[in-house]
Structure 1
Amino acid sequence: IKPANVLLDEDQNAYLADFGIAKNLEQVHKESLTAGGAIVGSPAYISPEQIKAEPVQPQSDIYCFGIMLFEMLTGRQPFPGPTPVAYIHQHLNDHPPSLREFNTDLPAALDVIVQRATAKNLADRYASITAMLRDLEQAFPQTVVLTHLAAPINGETAVYTRLDTAELAALENPYRGLRSFSEADADNFFGRDTLVQELLGFMSDGADLERFVAVVGPSGGGKSSVVKAGVIPTIRRGGLPDSEHWFIVDLTPGTHPWEEVEAALLRIAVNPPNSLLAQLRDGNRGLLRAVQRVLPADEKTELVMVIDQFEELFTLVEDEAVRTHFLESLVTAVLDSRSRLRVIITMRADFTDRPLNYVDFGEMMRRRTAFILPLTPDELTQAITRPVEQLGLQMEPRLVSTITAEVGQQPGMLPLLQYALTELFEQREGQVITLKMYHATGGVTGALARRADEIFESLDPASQMTARQLFLRLITLGEGVEDTRRRVLQEELLQLGSSSGNRSLIPAVLETFGRHRLLTFDHDPVTRSPTVEVAHEALLREWPRLRQWLADSRDDIRQQRLLAEAARLWQTNGRDDSYLLLGSRLTAFEAWVQTTTVKLTADEQTFLHASLIARDDQQAAEEERQRRELETAQQLGEEQSRRAEEQSAAAQSLRQRAYFLTGAVVIAAVLALAAVGFARSSTNNASLAATRASEALYNSNLAAANEAEAIANANIAATREVEANKEREEAQREANIRATAEAEAEIQREEAQNSERAAQEAYSLSLAANARQALEANNTELALLLALAANRIENPPLAAWQALIDVAYAPAASKEILFQNNIPLSFDLMPNGTHVLVGTNNGELQLYNLETKSIITTLRGHEGSVMSVAVNTDGTQALSGDSNGTAILWDLESGQLIHRMSGHSDAVEALDFLPDETRAITGVNSVNAPGELTIWNLKSGQMISRFGNTIDQNRYGIRSLAVLPNSNTVLVGINRANIADAPQFILWDFEKEEIVQSFQTATGFSISDIAISPDQQYILLASFDNNIYLLDLASNEIVRELRGHGADVSSVAFSPDGKTAVSGSRDDSIIWWEVKSGRILNHFEGHAEDIRQIGFSNL
Structure 2
Amino acid sequence: MSGSSHAIDLIHTRQDFARELTALRERAGLTVRQVAAATGVHGAHSTVGDWFAGRGLPATGSRDLLDRVLRACGVDEAAELERWVEAWRRVRRAPGPRPAGPEPYRGLAGFQVEDAEWFFGRRALTEELVERVTRAPGLHLVVGASGSGKSSLLRAGLIPALGERPALLFTPSTRPPGELTAFVVVDQFEEVFTTSSPGEALIAELAEAADGGATVVLGLRADFYAHALRHPPLLAAARDGQFAVGPMSEPELREAIVEPARKARVELGEGLVDLLLREVAPRAGAHEAGVLPLLSHALYATWRQGGGRRLTIADYRAVGGIEGAVAASATQVYTSLSGPQQELARRLFVDLVHVAADTADTRRRVATERLPEEVLDRFVAQRLITADTDAVEISHEALLTAWPLLRQWLEEDRAGLVIRRQLADAAAAWEREHRDPALLYRGARLAAARELATTQPADRAFLDASVAREAGELAAARRRTRRLYQLVAGLAAMLLLTVVATVVSVRSLETVSDQRNQALSGKAANEAVALRGTNPALAAQIGLAAYRLAPTAEARGALLSTFATPYSTRITGHTGAVYAAEFTPDGRLLATTGTDGTVRLWDVGARHAPRPLAVLPGSGGLLGAAIRGDGRLLATAGQDGTARLWDLADPARPAARATLRGHEGEIRRVAFSPDGRILASAGADRTVRLWDVTTPAQARQLSALGGHGDGVSAAVFAPGGRTLATTSGDTTVRLWDVADPRKPRQMAQVRHIDRVLAAAYSPDGRTLATGGFDNTLRLWDVRDPARPVALAALAGHVNGIVAVAFSPDGRTVATGSYDLTVRLWDIAEPRFAAVPLTLTGHTDTVYAVAFSPDGRTLASGGRDTTARLWEVKGPVLYGHSGPIHSAVPGAGGRLLVANSYRRAHLWDLSDPGRPAPLATLKEHTDNVLTAAFTPDGARLVTVSLDRTARLWDVRDPRRPVRLGMVSAPANPFTLALRPDARLVAVGEDGGVVRVWDLSDPRAPVEVRVLRAHTDRVLGLAFRSDGRVLASASADRTVRLWDLSDPRRPVALSTISAHANSVAAVAFAPSGGVLASAGYDHTARLWDLSDPRGPRPLSVLTGHSNSVNGLAFSPDGRTLVTAGFDGTARVWDITRPRSPGPPVPLVGHTDRVNSVAFGPGGATLVTGSSDSTARLWDMDPERVARRLCALATPRITAAEWQRHFPGLAFEPPCG
TM-score range, shorter chain: 0.3 to 0.5
Q: What TM-score does the superposition give when structure 1 sets the normalisation length? A: 0.41
Higher relative strand content = 2
Comparing both chains, which one has the higher relative contact order based on Cα–Cα distances under 8 Å and sequence gaps of 6 or more?
A: 2
Higher relative helix content = 1
Which structure: larger Rg? 1
Q: What TM-score does the superposition give when structure 2 sets the normalisation length? A: 0.37
